[in-house]
Chains A and B, each alone.
Chain A
């Protein structure tokens, strides 16, 4: 594994003249390797964007160093940097009369001549990148006739033809629907591996990052950045420390967030399978604590194998059989359990 990007005691923030330095984070020591897909996670206002902008060379660092391929990032000339780091940003592109091919071809800018003329090889690379991001056959499609997700894929193809070892994406999925988000993150993971690139993605999508990232970088206001593989971070309570707020709990078992609710009454649930899981979910959601232990409370038997019924047995012994969870909840409500 070759380390592409290495930051040493990096401090990031904004400087408007020497006097007005606003430092958001200090002592950032992270690295990104070839073929690695890293996700930068953090709540809004954590300074993710500032870090991303510093690492992609948009704004100067405050202190420390960022080395890319062993050379200080901010020592690269503009033209060289364009061949080292490519970016994909959040912003929505609204250009009329522009095809996917035209857009992706702009990624060749650092390599083309004075008028930006595309050679044979450039055109080949552009078409290859369009195929690589899953937009085969879209080359002559107008950008305005595409979905947001497809347009971001085209931007990723632009980053690919820029032919840089590093690709940095600043919340490219922010305004996409869930399936598009999943598709993009999967695509990035695949590209990192197949094209042997270092890819850094800043995102809010914790579940996706947990499932797909090789490395996760956690960032929150007033904390030092923590990096590691997803599992280690969960076990070290990283997500709890970075994301938990009052009323929101991070469940280390499921790797997802739970909303804290007052759960006053207890219901025993007996059964197995997916029906059992979602029944518990529904009961928790409506304010009941679920247990599998016997006790002095009503119980629900999930008959998963034969006729898919939910049998509610009250403390007095009376039984009701329901077909859906909705009916069951209705029943519980009318009996005021």
Chain B
């Protein structure tokens, strides 16, 4: 037990250092590089060597960095919950079609409104962006309610998972129809949204996003005990006194709210939620949610900051969408997980 504790403390210390370093890198690097002295000066309210630094940091890089951390932590926690609930290593926060729901909301305002009502939302600046966020959140929430409805009717988790995936497919199909009948510019605007971004989130948005994500993360801490027992499967969990139906609804709502809010503001961020729990388990070598839950939050923030940094590396100049980066990092992780699993199963015959 003691040797584990040392490993866990080391793991958390490592993640914390990475968060701080990556946080500073995210603020400092970009098309304009800002020295660490200037970063500290600006963040502590003093005057930096160039007046423009204050504006760059406060208006653009700081909200973007905070958004990346929140999104990474929130999606990773959602991924851990889905993987534990469905006992499936390939589940992620978007597995139940919630981010497709957000996509549907966005498609309705960007494609449908542009097409039928003759309004181009993307031309309305901030107001237009708020409409998109609102629509995405409503769409995600609608799908979440649908899933909750099915969750109450269905006892079996596997069937619920299949229903969720099917709902996602159906939603994507509706979006496909709308895309097909929409003008190029609108489809392009939708595709851009679909590639995800941490940079469209302003302080006004953050005032909404921060409390929602914090509530979601706190909720997930309440789920530590039932999630630990759910590792054994529903039957054992029920025999140990866990109320499966309530727990499942609570988990779905927790993941659902986190995913809905984050997807609404940042677009559908792929892979983070799926990959981070695996990375974390690899680092901490435990199945105890008391360790995993906070560790996954930290690791999620780290990976999101890292992806955001790469997306903004000098030379790319923000041209690389976040989903391209998460995909490129996420895909190798998923592959290595599958291979590792395969080896383990082979070991047992």
A residues bordering B, Cβ < 8 Å? 56-58, 78-79, 81-83, 85-87, 89, 91, 93-98, 101-103, 106-107, 109-110, 112, 114-117, 140, 144-145, 162
Produce 1/0 per residue, B220-257, CB < 8 A to A. Answer: 00101100110111011011111100000000000000
**A87-B239, A94-B345 given. 11 additional CB < 8 A pairs?**
A58-B239, A78-B238, A85-B239, A93-B232, A101-B1, A106-B228, A109-B242, A114-B225, A115-B224, A116-B224, A162-B240
Number of interface residues of B (CB under 8 A): 29
B residues whose Cβ falls under 8 Å from a Cβ of A: 1, 222, 224-225, 228-229, 231-233, 235-236, 238-243, 281, 284-288, 290, 341, 344-345, 347-348
Say whether A106 contacts B290, CB under 8 Å.
Answer: no
Determine the chain A residues whose CB is within 8 A of the CB of B281 once the complex forms.
Answer: 96-97
A107–B285 CB distance below 8 A: no
Q: Which residues of A contact B284 (CB under 8 A)?
A: 97
Q: How far is the CA of A57 from the CA of B228 in the complex (A)?
A: 22
**Complex: A221 Cα to B285 Cα, angstroms:** 47
Q: Give the tally of cross-chain contacts (CB within 8 A).
A: 80
A94 to B233, CA, bound (A): 10
A-chain residues with CB within 8 Å of residue B222 when the two chains form the complex? 114
Smallest CB–CB gap between A87 and chain B, Å? 5
Measured in the bound complex, the distance between the Cα atoms of B240 and A89 in whole Å is: 13
Taking a contact as CB atoms under 8 Å apart, the answer to whether B232 and A116 are in contact is no
Report B218 CB to chain A, min CB distance, Å: 13
22 contacts between A and B (CB under 8 A): A58-B238, A78-B238, A78-B241, A79-B241, A93-B233, A95-B232, A97-B285, A97-B286, A97-B287, A98-B287, A106-B228, A106-B231, A106-B240, A107-B240, A109-B225, A109-B229, A109-B240, A112-B225, A114-B222, A116-B224, A144-B347, A162-B240
Q: Which residue of B lies closest to A88 (CB)?
A: B236
Whether B348 pairs with A144 at a CB distance below 8 angstroms is yes
Which residues of B have CB within 8 Å of A86?
A: 239
Q: Which residues of B contact A91 (CB under 8 A)?
A: 233, 235
CB B157 to nearest CB in A, in angstroms, measures 13
Closest to B242 in A: A109
B344–A78 contact, CB under 8 A?
A: no
Q: Which 10 residue pairs across A and B have the least CB separation, nearest first?
A: A82-B241, A116-B225, A109-B240, A98-B287, A110-B241, A79-B241, A87-B239, A97-B287, A97-B285, A78-B241
Task: Name the one of A85, A87, A116 contacting B235, with C-beta atoms under 8 angstroms.
Answer: A87
A321 to chain B, nearest CB (A): 45
Name which of A95, A106, A112 has the most chain B CB atoms within 10 A of its CB.
A106
Q: Which of A57, A87, A96, A115 contacts B344 (CB 8 A)?
A: A96
CB neighbours of B225 from chain A (8 A): 109, 112, 114-116
Which residues of chain B are within 8 angstroms of A101 by Cβ–Cβ distance? 1
List the A residue with the shortest CB-CB distance to B231.
A95
| Bound CA span A322–B146, Å | 78
Q: How far apart are A264's CB and chain B's nearest CB, in angstroms?
A: 43
Q: How far is the CA of A221 from the CA of B157 in the complex (A)?
A: 30
Bound form: Cα–Cα A69–B235 in Å: 23
> Cα distance A54–B224 when bound, in Å?
29
- In the complex, A117 Cα to B289 Cα: how many Å? 11
> Shortest beta-carbon distance, A169 to chain B, in Å?
12
Name the residue on B nearest A53 (C-beta): B235
Contacts of B341 in A (CB 8 A): 96
Q: Are A102 and B287 in contact (CB under 8 A)?
A: yes
**Contact partners of B224 in chain A: CB under 8 A:** 115-116
